[in-house]
Amino acid sequence: MVAVVKVAKAATPTETNDIKPAADRYARGWHCLGLAADYRDGKPHSMNMFGTRVVVFQGQDGALHALNAWCPHMGADLGLGRIEGNTVVCRFHEWGFGTDGGCKHIPYAKHIPPKARVKAWPTLEENKLLFVWHDAEGGAPDPGLAVPRLPQVFSDQWSEWSMLHWKIDNNCRELVDNLADLAHFGPVHGSSSVAYFANIFEGPKATQVMVGTNERLGGARNHLTTVATYFGPACLLCSMSGEADGMPIESILFVSHVPINQTSFDLRYGVLVKKIPGLSEEQNQAVIKNYVDLAVKAFSEDVEIWHNKVRVDMPLLCDGDGPIYQLRQWYGQFYKDVDDVPVELGKRRVIEIDHGIGTKPPLQHVFGL
Ligand code: FES
Ligand SMILES: [Fe+2]
């Protein structure tokens, strides 16, 4: 299922002393463009991202490729063109560009200008999703920033991805803040109490562990435990145990974003649900649909806020707030040159807020990774 949901009202950021210019670069890491299957329809797809436009196409080799979309000849969008073999052919004058970004063919010229080339972006297919690699320094993908493989995606005991897509008018850092934002669970998500909250920062991973109650996703007993980990700057996996229709439900949520520019980003939200043994496929599909609807509704509560807030560099915090500044310090590493990332960020740091849970949950990243 793919749905595009638009939020009606967009924020108009106002200038205040708290708002500094947004970062002048984009984060280093893998960024998800949604379901890989959506790009396998024989057409080039162009999208705005990282302050430019990128075209994605499936070559004859079967792989998905991403190139800068603005044609270096006279500027047309290669996404308007067509795919021929392993090239995408510009609609304007039919220059053809290969998977490495080089121009391979000009129908009316004897010589191809050496500068006839566009940037080729590293791509990756994992968990049936497509990713592009961004690095302001132009470095190759860092294995330490890999997105883990989820066996659940390939198991018939689990649902297929339900994937939703929003465009948010804000800098993407405001979304990532959510990982450390303890105080929003009550007002936004209806969590009547959070017994335990912790953040673990460790190299390129940042995790939130939360044990509490939630009337919307926790079911009759209201009990909800979540563990969520960012793997790099833009891919969050969350393991959640809750209830729907009176039955315990295990699910995996995937929250990912791609900056369009410094004031907007594409937000994608994927849900996987474990089927309940003993139920028919039809019954399971009904439970899954019900649960996904609830999960999307809960997530939409955040979406409306992100879409209607300003970027604030120095939030005014109080006791009871989560470690927003530590989270931002962790997130800042992806905006620095690799050689400038502070060594201390590689060390494991745990920040706990314990409201009397008794037995603590394991302090580990999602799926123990
Ligand atoms: S603008 Fe693309 S071929 Fe001319
Ligand atoms: Fe939230």
CATH of the domain at 309: 3.90.380.10
Q: Which domain holds residue 92?
A: 27-141
How many whole angstroms separate alpha carbon 106 and alpha carbon 93?
8
Query: Is there a single domain that holds both residue 161 and residue 128?
Result: no
Query: Could you tell me if residue 8 is inside a domain?
Result: no
Same domain, 128 and 211: no
**In this predicted structure, what is the pLDDT of residue 222?**
62
Residue 12 within any structural domain of the chain? no
* Radius of gyration, CA atoms only, the chain: 22
Last residue of a domain, one of 79, 107, 141: 141
Mind listing the pLDDT tens digit for each residue in 260-316? 999 999 999 999 999 999 999 999 999 999 989 988 888 888 999 998 998 888 999
Does residue 212 belong to any structural domain of this protein? yes
From the list 167, 154, 155, 128, the residue with the least C-alpha distance to 35 is: 128
Kindly give the distance from the C-alpha atom of residue 184 to the centroid of ligand 2, in angstroms, as a whole number.
7
Closest Cα to atom 4 of ligand 1: 93
Q: What was the pLDDT predicted at 105? A: 97
Instruction: Indicate whether 167 and 129 sit together in one domain.
Output: no
The structural domain count of the chain equals: 2
User: Which 3-state string (H, E, C) describes 298-324?
Assistant: HHHHHHHHHHCCCCCCCCCCCECECCH
Token readout for 93 is 């004058």
Same domain, 239 and 325: yes
Q: Is residue 43 part of a domain?
A: yes
Q: What's the CA-to-centroid distance between 102 and ligand 1, angstroms? A: 14
Tell me, yes or no, whether 270 lies in a domain. Answer: yes
Distance of CA 61 from the midpoint of ligand 2 (Å): 41
Confidence of residue 41 (pLDDT cuts 50, 70, 90): very high
356, 224: one domain = yes
Same domain, 36 and 72: yes
**Residue-level pLDDT at 299:** 87
pLDDT tens, position by position, 138-155? 999 999 999 999 999 999
* Residue 330, C-beta contacts closer than 8 angstroms, at least 6 positions apart: 201, 206, 345
Residues lining ion ligand 2 (Cβ < 5 A) are 302
137 alpha carbon – ligand 1 mean position (Å): 28
Give 107 Cα–ligand 1 centroid separation in angstroms: 11
Residue 168 and residue 107 share a domain = no
Same domain, 348 and 203: yes
Q: Are 119 and 190 part of one and the same domain? A: no
Check whether residue 286 and residue 335 sit in a common domain: yes
Is residue 95 lining ligand 1, measured as CB closer than 6 Å?
A: yes
Which residue's CA is the nearest one to ligand 1's atom 3?
93
Same domain, 72 and 177: no
pLDDT over threshold 50, residue 6: no
C-beta 47 within 6 A of ligand 1: no
Q: How much is the average pLDDT of 190-215?
A: 87
* 305 in any annotated domain: yes
Residue 1 CA to ligand 2 centre (angstroms)? 22
Look at residues 141, 174, 189 and tell me which one is the last residue of a structural domain: 141
Q: What atom in ligand 1 is closest to the CA of residue 76?
A: 1
Report the CATH number that the domain containing residue 100 is assigned in CATH. Answer: 2.102.10.10
244, 201: one domain: yes
Q: Determine the Cα–Cα distance for residues 174 and 307; give it in Å rounded to an integer.
A: 10
* 129 in a structural domain: yes
pLDDT score for 125: 97
Give dist(CA 203, CA 345) in Å, integer: 5
In a domain, 72, yes or no: yes
The residue whose CB lies within 8 Å of the most ligand 1 atoms, and thus the one to mutate among 82, 92, 104, is 92
Q: Decide which of 141, 168, 194 is a domain's last residue.
A: 141
76 pocket-lining for ligand 1 (C-beta < 6 Å): yes
